[in-house]
Structure 1
Amino acid sequence: MKKMLKNPLYVYGDEVVGVPSHLNFGQYMVTTMWNYGDKIAMINGITDERLTYRDIVKDAMNIAVSLTRIGVKRGDIVAICSENRQEYWSTFIGTSCTGATFTATNSAYTKDELLHVLNISKPKMIFCSQHAYKVHEKTLRSLSYMEKIIIFGTDRPPNTLLYNDLVKNNTNITLENFRAADVVGQTDTAVILYSSGTTGLPKGVMLNHLNILTTCNMSSTMNPKESSLTITPWYHTMGLIGNLRIFANGGYFVYLPKFDSDLYLKTIERYQIVQIVVAPPVLVALCKFQSNYDVSSVKLVYSGAAPLRSDTIKAVKDRFPNVTSVLQGYGMTEATFGVTRDSYDTAHLSKTGSVGRVVSSCIIKVVDIDTKAPLGVNQPGEIYIKGPLVMKGYIGKDRSEDFDDEDFFKTGDIGYYDEDRCFFIVDRLKELIKYKGYQVPPAEIEAVLLQHPSIRDVGVVGIPHADAGEVPRAYVVVQPEANVTEDEIKNLVKEKLSNPKHLRGGVQFVKEIPKNPSGKILRRKLREMSQIRNEAKSKL
């Protein structure tokens, strides 16, 4: 009987999300985007090149037909290795229309990194930018499963196909005579993305058509009538799925290939950007960057990928004088996109520091780290999630390792919800520093250090200690021409935080903090730096 009743300790989202009965992501995007006609969908913030919805759909349908003619079918894997560029979206949607699975890789990967992710998915074909092909040609040619390489641009290297030829082959295709290949939306994998790898090597995340259709059909987080600025690379879920949601709602965005404070603020002024979507480290950098650009157009700031602290929110409102809301969401590749959020139309209900309420169709429980028993209001524990947003699983890994017996996915994130069912994220379970039995969240120490005007960026990890288990060490990036000492930084933490959080592991000054594309600190790389430093000391 208990199984028939809702658990009072679980947090349930609204149960209704409208998705098309065919559960075919490719067909849905083609139809939806075609209906927006000649409306601008995206703008390159550097070149001012613009694409309309019809532009993207026409090319996507042509790509789908051409890929089918050269042998792509349901169940195949088609990859892309490219920086953000206009052909990306028609390639993605066109591939999906063939029934094949699309996988996105980082063009900046090293040889070993690229081999690792491609050997997970084993794509039959790959689309490459000219730059990516020049860098990775030998690696791609060495793969026995890679049958064809398709190049963006006008230069055709030997034994490759050109994207431009594929989109010109079928000039008479219209929405009326086009139909995407049949799929089984609940089980067929639409997209393979790769987990962020903050604690280890990336894993292949399988998202089915239903996963993506569910998030695309939720109410819009951003106002679709206003401009947005994005810098997140499109091989990452925050960029790929986040921008898909904009397309599904008929909005438009300006994009930049990478983050640069001066260029970013200049682009806001040029395009009168109203909404910006950024990770906390980007916000910190923008708030500390001195410039005279007019950023008064910005009204909404949306942040994800890491917790946003109250002092940062205050600095954002000082930097952008007309901002009415600084909102947060919480999600991950394994959940397609976000599982909690605030949105532009519910901003008045948001709470400082909160990542919002559970989204439609999702169920969340917070469990005790040791006993796994469900916890109640204001009790921090590991977050478990369930619903049609949650991935099929990792490629080559048994689901039982990552899901509990109720089919909840174990996120590895520590958080809690309050009496209003608003969620707050504390830190990653694997990133908590274990000092003499105390669990120390590194993000809390980082938030304190970022208040110092001379500190531009910071990352904190635990380093091994014979008596305490682990002690916190801070890696600090100092502002240009600023002076701050190790003792000054240690004393700041002593003044602001309790004894277990003091920097007993010391302070190391570095040029930059390693991060993944969404802005998460790669703590495993900081730990590697600690290990190298300790080994060097032991040799002296």
Structure 2
Amino acid sequence: MLRNKLYIYGDEDITLPAHIHFGKFILNKFKTFNDHVAIINAATDERMTFKELTQLTVDVALSLAHIGVKKGDVVSICSEKVMEFLPVIYGTLAAGATFSPIDVTCEKEALLHRLNLVQPKILFFSPSGYNKHKESVKSLTFIEKIIIFGESVEKTIGFKDFLSRHASIEDFETTPVNGSEDIALILFSSGTTGVSKGIKISHLNLLLYIWVKDDIVSLGVMTLGNFEWFTSYGIIFTFHMHQKGSTIVFGNNVDARKCLEIIEQYKINIIPATPTILVQLMKLKDLSDYDTSSIKSIIVTGTICHESILEAIRKRIPSTLSVIQHYGMTECGSICSPAYARISPRAVSSIGGVRSLFNVKIVDVETRQPLGPNQRGEICCKSLAVMKDYIGETIDYLDEEGFFKTGDIGYYDEDKNMYIVDRIKDLIKFNNYHVPPAEIEAIILKHPAVREVGVVGAKNEEFHELPTAFVVLESGAQATEQELVDYVDERVSIRMRLAGGVRFLNALPRCAGDKVDRKKLRLMLNNNNLLIK
């Protein structure tokens, strides 16, 4: 067989443990980190060392087994970030069971959709999560026990009472699994293009997810844990950092200013961020009043970040050695990273090169034929890292060659560095052009009065769709619709103009992982009968 010259092939330089068991792998890593701090709650300064984390993981695994949890059973957590959250995940995996996080911010319908898909045997709640959802879960007979992070209430079990079993770390052995087949995680997609899907990730998949080349993460590095642990990226990112010995400093409901306070207090080195977080930081007039000199790397993910925002944050936080975009999906982990760039990218907007064990092709959306450099099409990938399957769904997600169809539009340059444009389903068809809303959003975000923005297409009889912006203004700021329309029109070609105008909101609807929920924005247009003629 010959390699296709239009495909991009990642290297095969990767080493995996023979047991292919994520729980065993992570415990073996933790044992080497000993008294280094693993987790810090920024709100209370409560700390947990890796030795303590390992012991609690062992006790959780044994206690789960004691109440009947075995391989194939599902354990879920519905909670904001708390100190017990990560030990329960690690303990579940060490016990050979499957972990599936439930978004505590879900409303009843979305919550029941997820719970009915994964059917957890054991469900952990924070006190606030239980108070919010207790009526919704009462009728779910597959839930055998509800455990509260804190004191028991009603018919639940308190976390301390649940921890009924203890053994030395040296005497503990993880429950054996078939790493290539048994499911470690069931994660949920962000739901940007429909109902959130359950994604089955094996132990092999998970080990490949966290095997990402980097030169910054090492023992003792301080990482800001600002992504929720019920989101896919929040979990995978934390796993990657912990297996390197990094300390995770977390907070809840952390805005840009609180983020800076945590960075200053704990000398944070690595920040995972979304474009929204970066824009909020960039627009703080007193950013220079905070000590950000400890920051070495900012990792941007979740959605597309325009190069102008990346450049602006580099200038405002000069200590940063790298401000980079990672590209990936819950279904296959990180696909591209600047760490894998073949030649240093010519533009800062590049998402870098294709990572190890991945093959990538760009195909024409209509003909499905592979494309060459600088031609835009759907990004498709093939790898052992690609998920096992969707749960409870029959979806045609592979093409005839077995490549996973990402649904994203992108291209690669002559050096085989990759660029992401937008989601296929988010593209706005305006006067026979496909307009990427992310490019318009990046321009609007530069306006000093704008805090957040989401762009979608308003239905139109003549032009099919008209680019329309939903804008949230900065507190106390003012801007008119015409002002923002003119601001965009002065900076784009005629096909990118805000022909549908601007709508002002107090807040944008968002999916998990901080992505703008464009589906809800379109519904707002439709419900208001905004058929623009």
TM-score normalized with structure 2 length: 0.95
* Matched residue SS, 1:424: strand
Contact kept in structure 2, 1:221 and 1:344, CA below 8 Å? no
The offset of 1:222, in angstroms, is 4.2
- Name the counterpart of 1:219: 213
The offset of 1:158, in angstroms, is 2.8
Of the candidates 389, 407, 410, which is equivalent to residue 393 of structure 1?
389
Contact kept in structure 2, 1:472 and 1:505, CA below 8 Å? yes
Indicate whether 1:175 and 2:172 are aligned.
no
The offset of 1:346, in angstroms, is 9.9
The offset of 1:209, in angstroms, is 0.4
- Name the counterpart of 2:132: 135
Distance 2:339 2:82 in 1: 28
Distance 2:517 2:215 in 1: 27
Distance 1:267 1:346 in 2: 36
- Farther off after superposition, 8-17 or 425-434: 8-17
What fraction of aligned residue pairs are identical, expressed as a percent? 40
For 1:308-347, what aligned pairs fall within 5 Å after superposition? 308-335=305-332, 337-343=333-339
Partner AA of 2:153 in structure 1: P
The offset of 1:113, in angstroms, is 1.2
Distance 1:86 1:393 in 2: 31
For 1:189-268, what aligned pairs fall within 5 Å after superposition? 189-220=183-214, 222-225=216-219, 226-268=221-263
- CA change 1:31–1:166 in 2 (3 A) is farther
Distance 1:81 1:483 in 2: 39
Indicate whether 1:53 and 2:47 are aligned.
no
Partner AA of 1:183 in structure 2: V
Distance 2:91 2:36 in 1: 20
Q: Which runs of 5+ in 2 are unaligned?
A: none
* Matched residue SS, 1:218: coil
- Name the counterpart of 1:82: 79
- Name the counterpart of 1:107: 104
Of the candidates 353, 358, 361, which is equivalent to residue 357 of structure 1?
353
Distance 2:433 2:152 in 1: 59
TM-score normalized with structure 1 length: 0.94
Indicate whether 1:22 and 2:19 are aligned.
yes
- Name the counterpart of 1:382: 378
Indicate whether 1:470 and 2:465 are aligned.
yes
* Matched residue SS, 1:206: strand
- CA change 1:266–1:527 in 2 (3 A) is same
Q: Which runs of 5+ in 1 are unaligned?
A: none
For 1:494-513, what aligned pairs fall within 5 Å after superposition? 494-513=489-508
The offset of 1:91, in angstroms, is 0.5
Q: C-alpha offsets along residues 352-391 of structure 1, whole Å, 9 cap, x if unaligned?
A: 0011111111111111010111111111100111112211
Of the candidates 159, 175, 181, which is equivalent to residue 187 of structure 1?
181
- Name the counterpart of 1:525: 520
* Matched residue SS, 1:6: coil
Distance 1:56 1:298 in 2: 26
Indicate whether 1:72 and 2:72 are aligned.
no
Of the candidates 420, 423, 445, which is equivalent to residue 425 of structure 1?
420
Distance 1:53 1:216 in 2: 18
For 1:89-104, what aligned pairs fall within 5 Å after superposition? 89-104=86-101
Q: C-alpha offsets along residues 43-82 of structure 1, whole Å, 9 cap, x if unaligned?
A: 1122111111111111111111111121111111111111
Distance 1:514 1:397 in 2: 25
The offset of 1:224, in angstroms, is 2.0
The offset of 1:535, in angstroms, is 6.7
For 1:432-511, what aligned pairs fall within 5 Å after superposition? 432-511=427-506
Indicate whether 1:279 and 2:274 are aligned.
yes
- Farther off after superposition, 61-70 or 279-288: 61-70
The offset of 1:512, in angstroms, is 1.8
Partner AA of 1:224 in structure 2: S
Distance 2:346 2:40 in 1: 30
Contact kept in structure 2, 1:62 and 1:166, CA below 8 Å? no
Contact kept in structure 2, 1:126 and 1:150, CA below 8 Å? yes
- CA change 1:174–1:6 in 2 (3 A) is farther
The offset of 1:176, in angstroms, is 2.5
Distance 1:424 1:367 in 2: 14
Contact kept in structure 2, 1:427 and 1:443, CA below 8 Å? yes
Distance 1:536 1:423 in 2: 37
Contact kept in structure 1, 2:147 and 2:162, CA below 8 Å? no
- Name the counterpart of 2:157: 161
Distance 2:458 2:523 in 1: 10
Contact kept in structure 1, 2:227 and 2:233, CA below 8 Å? yes
Aligned-pair Cα RMSD in Å:
2.0
* Matched residue SS, 1:518: helix
The offset of 1:219, in angstroms, is 2.7
The offset of 1:259, in angstroms, is 2.8
The offset of 1:138, in angstroms, is 1.5
* Matched residue SS, 2:366: coil
- CA change 1:46–1:424 in 2 (3 A) is same
Distance 1:468 1:290 in 2: 41
Q: C-alpha offsets along residues 422-466 of structure 1, whole Å, 9 cap, x if unaligned?
A: 111000000000112210100111111112122222110011111
The offset of 1:534, in angstroms, is 2.3
* Matched residue SS, 1:32: helix
Partner AA of 1:159 in structure 2: K
Q: C-alpha offsets along residues 489-522 of structure 1, whole Å, 9 cap, x if unaligned?
A: 1122222112222111111111122223423211
Contact kept in structure 1, 2:500 and 2:532, CA below 8 Å? no
Indicate whether 1:295 and 2:255 are aligned.
no
Partner AA of 1:93 in structure 2: Y
For these two proteins, the number of residue pairs brought into alignment is 530
Contact kept in structure 2, 1:223 and 1:344, CA below 8 Å? no
- Name the counterpart of 2:122: 125
- CA change 1:31–1:276 in 2 (3 A) is same
